[in-house]
Chain A
Amino acid sequence: MTNEEIKNFITSVAPSATFDETGEWLNVLAEPATWKELAQRLRSSSEFQFDYLFCLTCIDWKTHLTVVYHLSSSVHRHTIVIKVKAETANPEVETVSDIWRTAEFHEREVFELFGVKFLHHPDLRKLILTDDFEGFPLRKDFEDPINMIKL
């Protein structure tokens, strides 16, 4: 499957998506509103079959956050990267844990480290940090004067 075909398909589902092909894989910048449907279509359509979510993480750009999904297909051997924008103040993104089961833990990790709320997640608790931990330590503006020695 060529990048052009994938791009055409994504544009048909989510017209607002933009693309970036400078990296190793096709990058897609998708709007949060269209993301859930796009994810379902990418997973289920027989020509793409993105059945493997091999990385789910988040980036803090200071102005906003992007949740990053790396998808590949074990059938067609193609890979894409999807970035979904979220606001810093109240980041909310639909969960994909019902589509790719592995996302359940990854989303919990992004939730505790970046504070992104994954809507309709079955069990959105902290994963590794203690339950009473306050703040989101991988945010750029995170401060912890007690434990952190700044260089």
Chain B
Amino acid sequence: MAYPSDRKYTKQHEWIQTSGTTATVGITDHAQEELGDIVFVELPKVGAEVTAGKTFGSVESVKAVSDLYAPASGSVTEVNGDLATSPENVNKDPHGSWMMKIRLQNPGELDALLSSADYEKFVAEEGGH
């Protein structure tokens, strides 16, 4: 799967797409593939503060649990409630099944993140498969 160029990526395999001062966050196709069948997504509450590089929730597959890391700091304005009942949507459409929306505290933080091309290269080098 190609990584959309309309967003940025982290080395922990999250994506973040900005629209003005808000941003939408999810996990990448590579992340969902590594996890396998996702059965549970734990997300923060609306209003919670998240910090760049710190965990904001977790995602569990049949075989493993994995932390979710915030690509940028901000306050949570919305979470994707559909994932409570249909966590498998993350497997089916990782780049469409967003997890949370945040109001960015410092949009400049995004400059440090990877472009789609750089992320693709990073995955190829890290994974080796």
A and B physically associate = no
